[in-house]
């Protein structure tokens, strides 16, 4: 099932004068080079849920940034408590570095952790405590052909123990907000990613111009 | 020079009944397996400065956590402004996962970024802006044989453009504070690392027990 999806997204069949040509869209360039897609990191169940990936995998992916929404700045209960460390799969990051686009097959993982303390030797602030949650977003033009931007969003929960599998969230609960961010002037991607809060991605985009 | 340092730190010569044996300390296990040390990622000048490493290298290392000391919580000027994204070299992280010890040759890099905004769709909080600084700490029992714990600390500045090379800071300005943290009950490493604020390291240590 996954193999079929991969081969379908790897090229567009174009019939010219009776000869079928394959034209790879530009954002597929690196995936074609390596023969891999970010999708190769994920496992789906037969009914389309994502199996929670192991930390031993994604904690070695490319870290892109850490937004922080502390409970104490959000009436005691943030929507995403509290630190959000975000990783990007290395295959898609390599493509992004060359094109500035999120290729089909991009997987972003958000690992949530609690605020552990607000005071340390280095000063007052917010310091990470224990891991509390895990969420994933995936761009896949085949599996999510009906989702805006072909992005789908999954949550394994905000409290341990996390769910072993997760079904995609409805469009209104995640996609809509990411969709609205496309028109923010700070978001240079114009895609469904809150790129303006991820300096590793902003820096990679700035390097494209050189 | 570096080769000599590596071979000297790779084993301890022990004379037993006139026969010289080599006993590798446990934290050298993985470095010996891979034939590499975290030190292999660094370049030193002839006078002992570290050449500022390229983001293309350390931004693909293992991310361990992000303390935050915002200026607005530190009388307008934090000692380390403001987000501190910390990476560990992958060779030493692989050793740490097996032993729970920071092997000789461990390199930790702290990349600083400014607070870009305090409000986003996800709530009130702190969101990363531009990169502003870079610091490194290295554990090397040969080069830093006279430093407490064999750790030395370098800063390339807290404002771009960063310095191209940095000399080691004096013991009082960095090492002393890390040294005091060894006795904090939250710091399970008892080494010179503020491990309690890095959940990726805490989780790797917890996995040792399994």
- B55 CA: distance to closest CA in chain A (Å): 9
- B54 CA: distance to closest CA in chain A (Å): 12
Please give the model's pTM, rounded to 2 decimal places: 0.85
Per CB-CB distance under 8 Å, the chain A contacts of B74 are 123-125
Verify that A153 and A191 share a domain, yes or no.
yes
Q: B122–A62: do the CB atoms touch at under 8 Å?
A: no
- B81 CA: distance to closest CA in chain A (Å): 10
Q: Which two tokens stand for residue B33?
A: 């397996």
For B41, residues 6+ apart whose C-beta sits below 8 A from its C-beta are B53, B57, B58, B89, B91, B107
Verify that A22 and A123 share a domain, yes or no.
no
Flag whether residue B55 sits within 8 Å of chain A, measured between CB atoms: yes
Q: B122–A79: do the CB atoms touch at under 8 Å?
A: yes
Verify that A87 and A17 share a domain, yes or no.
no
Task: Supply the CATH number for residue B62's domain.
Answer: 3.50.70.20
Verify that A57 and A11 share a domain, yes or no.
no
pLDDT recorded at residue A18: 39
User: How many independent structural domains does chain B possess?
Assistant: 2
Verify that B19 and B39 share a domain, yes or no.
no
The whole-angstrom separation of Cα B133 and Cα A91 is 27
Flag whether residue A94 sits within 8 Å of chain B, measured between CB atoms: no
Of A73, A116, A203, the CB nearest to B125: A73
Q: Which two tokens stand for residue B168?
A: 């080691």
Verify that B117 and B186 share a domain, yes or no.
yes
The whole-angstrom separation of Cα B69 and Cα A118 is 9
> Residue A100 sits in which domain range?
35-208
Verify that B120 and B17 share a domain, yes or no.
no
In A136-175, the residues whose Cβ lies within 8 Å of chain B are none
Q: Report whether pLDDT(B172) > 90.
A: no
pLDDT, tens digit (0-9, with 9 covering 90-100), for B77-100: 999 999 999 999 999 999 999 999
Distance, CA of A84 to chain centre: 12
Report helix angle B199-208 to B90-99, nearest 10.
40
Verify that A125 and A100 share a domain, yes or no.
yes
pLDDT, tens digit (0-9, with 9 covering 90-100), for A99-135: 999 999 999 999 999 999 999 999 999 999 999 999 9
Q: Which two tokens stand for residue A65?
A: 């940034």
Verify that A96 and A2 share a domain, yes or no.
no
Verify that A88 and A18 share a domain, yes or no.
no
Verify that B99 and B193 share a domain, yes or no.
yes
In A116-135, the residues whose Cβ lies within 8 Å of chain B are 116, 120-131
Which ipTM did the prediction report?
0.84
Verify that B10 and B56 share a domain, yes or no.
no
Upper half-sphere CA count for residue A10 (Cβ side, 13 Å): 16
pLDDT, tens digit (0-9, with 9 covering 90-100), for B4-45: 333 333 333 333 333 433 333 434 434 545 668 999 999 999
pLDDT, tens digit (0-9, with 9 covering 90-100), for A194-210: 999 999 999 999 999 76
């Amino acid at each position: 099932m996954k193999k079929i999806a991969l081969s379908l997204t790897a090229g567009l069949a174009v019939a010219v004068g009776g000869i079928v040509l394959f034209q790879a869209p530009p954002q597929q360039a690196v995936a074609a080079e390596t023969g891999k897609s970010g999708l190769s990191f994920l496992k789906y169940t037969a009914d389309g849920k994502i199996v929670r990936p192991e930390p031993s995998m994604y904690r070695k992916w490319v870290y892109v940034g850490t937004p922080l929404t502390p409970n104490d700045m959000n009436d005691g209960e943030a929507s995403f408590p509290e630190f959000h460390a975000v990783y990007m799969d290395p295959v898609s990051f390599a493509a992004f570095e060359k094109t500035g686009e999120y290729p089909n097959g991009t997987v972003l993982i958000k690992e949530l952790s609690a605020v552990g303390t607000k005071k340390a030797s280095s000063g007052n602030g917010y310091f990470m405590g224990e891991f509390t949650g895990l969420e994933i977003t995936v761009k896949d033009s085949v599996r999510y052909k009906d989702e805006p931007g072909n992005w789908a969003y999954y949550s394994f929960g905000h409290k341990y123990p996390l769910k072993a599998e997760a079904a995609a969230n409805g469009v209104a609960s995640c996609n809509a907000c990411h969709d609205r961010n496309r028109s923010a002037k700070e978001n240079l991607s114009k895609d469904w990613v809150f790129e303006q809060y991820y300096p590793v991605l902003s820096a990679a985009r700035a390097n494209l111009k050189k």
